[in-house]
Structure 1
Amino acid sequence: MSKERFIDPKVLATIKDLPLLAKTVVEGFLSGQNQSLRRGIGLEFSQYRSYEPGDDLRQLDWKMFARSDRYYIREAEVDTNITVRFILDGSASMAHEDLNGLTKLDYARYLIASLAYLATTQGDAVGLYVLQEDQLVHLTPRSDNMHLQRFWHQLSDIKPNGKFPAGSVGANLLQGRRQKELTVFLTDLYEHEHEMQDLLAKLGAQRHELLLFHLMSRNELDFTFSGTLTFEDLETGQTLQVGTTEQRAIYLARLQEWLQQTEHSMRNRQIRYDLFATDEPLDKALRAFLKNRLRQV
């Protein structure tokens, strides 16, 4: 099977078991990356070999990946464990559906499940924090297999609801921070009163590595709607009638301006920003995660 067979979100939607989906994504991704491995100059092959399906993922060498952009199994064990915190926007706007039938939350769920599996097999502690209106659902970071099962179960049960929380709801995210830590925040950045920007400012000030995975659907990015339509705000219920032909150019121009401003603002805060369309294969996000995880080793 091709690498795309494992990481196309539309194909993944047919896998109903989240642990199986996570293992399929990670092992297929790593296997696909090594199909074209070539020996490089100066590599110590007495200590490293190419990753093969079925290998113990705890033996992946992150530093060798950073140098070569390839996956190798290390012979000697090195203590490279870190804490990975996944923060998920659980507000109602994450229920927005793309042309392929997947919601933003579906895409985020696939991505988090896969990254948590990869991190746990490496010995990292993973934690899950779901932000919804007036509440924070969370699992404290741990690294054992039973915790990963609970992690997947919690992730499967999430239903998008309400607005993104404001004020003190996210305060627990700033507690118990560890020295070697990576935070991955998955959201569509939809907010009402700068509540998300306020949280990002606080998280960015913690001096830990912070990745912002900005999720948008293809129909939002390309404005693929036609005719005169009534759009509904999933969080407030407000509606707006729009003539799509007349508004398309204006919408796309304003969207690009907002995306550029957002990326610039995140860079200034030392937050690593990536935009993902929910019809994109998962390899882009997996690669971004791996490269930034290495900064904590």
Structure 2
Amino acid sequence: MATKALAAETRRPGRRESEGAAALAARMPRLVLEARQVSSLLAHGLHGRRRAGPGESFWQFRPFVTGEAAARVDWRRSARDDRLYVREREWEAAHNIWFWIDRSASMAFASDLAGASKIERALVLGLALADAFVDGGERVGLLGLTRARASRGIVEHLAQALVADRAGLDRDLPPDAQPARFDEVVLIGDFLTPPERIAASLSGLAAAGSRGHLLLVADPIEETFPFSGQAVLHGLEGAPSLDIGDAGAWGDRYRARIAAHRDRLAEIVRGQGWTLTVHRTDRPASEAALRLATLVMARGG
């Protein structure tokens, strides 16, 4: 008999799944190592974010261009040569990057087709991006848990905060927060929550003008539902099991409902001017990390 675990719309974590999420503390060292490996693949691209702009740190001298204001000339440097030079300062963006990582019970799911459970992949992606952004000169924090900082030990700092946050195991959406204008928000989860709740959460986060990105982590089975014959669905979050009979016939309706939910989510995200990235756990983590890093870099300009 084929079986499948799906998250119900009523998200009340079951004891077994909550205990499994709490046990991530034991696996965190391995996830931190994996996150650093993914981060190393992003380092070269993110270093390209350093560019001329408003700031205090010297970046480079460049030749004066006709038409620029004379006040921009660095006369001391120009006196050493027969050309005029402008002192450029390195871009120092006055905003932070805030992360939220879904650790509710539905994230514990992993099929035989997946490279990792959704929660493990979400943690690797979040920690890898945090490490890469700090390496690129940004400040990173966890919504409702930590302040934004540019510490070289950001991965360990965030990992410790997540392990200590037991309340986060029951949360399927970010905590109430209002990031500052021009801050970036990165939300990582499966977003199986009813759309109206997601819309309300994003509206609150974007109220002050913050910009954001949703990274939807999905198991390949949740996308394709490759079952036939008699099947029983087991809910991960306290819902009863459901005997659906012919899985092949039921699968068409399931895929249509998933597609409708995804379309509605995309509509909500577009309405806030945010971005949506879908990542399947049978794909390399570096693919989603690179896309998110590129999006944040683009928005930061």
Look up the SS of the partner of 2:36 in the other structure: helix
What SS is found at the alignment partner of 2:213? strand
Which structure has more RCO (C-alpha within 8 Å, separation ≥ 6)?
2
Do the aligned partners of residues 18 and 164 (structure 1) sit closer, same or farther apart at CA in structure 2, a change above 3 Å counting?
A: closer
Match of 2:49 among 59, 62, 83: 62
Equivalent residue, structure 2, for 1:204: 206
1:258 Cα deviation after fit: 2.4
1:79 match: 91
| Inter-CA distance 186–267: structure 2 relative to 1 (3 Å threshold) | same
Letter in 2 for 1:211: H
Structure 1 partner of 2:197: 195
Paired residue secondary structure (2:146): strand
The one of 147, 152, 169 aligned to 1:140:
147
The aligned counterpart of 2:276 is 273
Larger Rg: 2
Residues 25 and 226 of structure 1: is their aligned pair in 2 closer, same or farther, counting only changes over 3 Å?
Answer: same
Decide whether aligned partners of structure 1 residues 193 and 233 sit closer, same or farther in structure 2, where only a CA change above 3 A counts: farther
Instruction: Say whether 1:170 aligns with 2:157.
Output: no
Preserved contact between residue 188 and residue 216 of structure 1 (Cα < 8 Å): yes
> Per the alignment, in what secondary structure is the counterpart of residue 148 of structure 2?
strand
Other-structure match for 2:237: 235
| 1:44-123 correspondence to structure 2 within 5 Å | 60-62=47-49, 76=60, 78-81=90-93, 82-98=95-111, 99-100=113-114, 102-123=116-137
> Does the CA contact (< 8 Å) of 2:185 and 2:211 recur in 1?
yes
Tell me which moved more, 283-292 or 88-97: 283-292
The one-letter amino acid of 2:218's match is M
Letter in 2 for 1:123: G
| TM-score normalised according to structure 2 size | 0.68
Q: Which is further off, 154-163 or 244-253?
A: 154-163
* 1:160-188 Cα shifts (integer Å, max 9, x gaps): 844626xxx822x21xx334421001121
Question: What's the CA shift string for 1:119-169, capped at 9, x where partnerless?
Answer: 11122111123xxxxxx6x1221111344422133346677844626xxx8
| Structure 1: runs of 5 or more not aligned | 1-13, 34-56, 65-73, 130-135
Are the counterparts in 2 of residues 185 and 213 from structure 1 also a CA contact under 8 Å?
yes
| Partner of residue 248 from structure 2, selected from 232, 245, 250 | 245
Instruction: State the distance in 2 between where 1:80 and 1:254 align.
Output: 44
Question: How far is 1:227 from its partner?
Answer: 3.3
Distance 1:226 1:272 in 2: 35
- Aligned CA distance change for structure 1 residues 101 and 275 (closer, same or farther; 3 Å): closer
2:283 is the counterpart of 1:296: no
After superposition, the C-alpha distances for 1:176-220 in whole angstroms (9 at most, x for unaligned) are: x33442100112112258333311222233321110111211001
Identity score, percent: 20
SS of aligned partner of 2:140 = strand
Range 106-115 or range 206-215, more displaced: 206-215
What is the CA–CA distance in structure 2 between the aligned matches of 1:158 and 1:95, rounded to whole Å?
Answer: 16
**Distance of aligned partners of 1:163 and 1:178 in 2 relative to their CA distance in 1, 3 Å threshold:** closer
After superposition, what is the alpha-carbon deviation per residue over 1:11-35, rounded to whole angstroms, capped at 9, x for unaligned? xxx995334322211223556x8xx
In 2, Cα distance between the equivalents of 1:272 and 1:149? 27
Q: Secondary structure at the match of 2:269?
A: helix
- AA partner of residue 204 (structure 2): K
- Structure 2 vs 1, CA of residues 178 and 198 (structure 1 numbering), >3 Å: closer, same or farther? closer
Closer, same or farther: CA 148–109 of 1 in aligned 2, 3 Å:
closer
SS in 1 for 2:191: coil
Which of 139, 153, 156 aligns to 1:125? It is 139
Question: What's the secondary structure of 1:123's corresponding residue?
Answer: coil
Distance between the aligned counterparts of 2:225 and 2:141, measured in 1?
35
> In the aligned structure 1, how far is the partner of 2:230 from the partner of 2:170?
27
Q: Which amino acid aligns with 1:178?
A: A
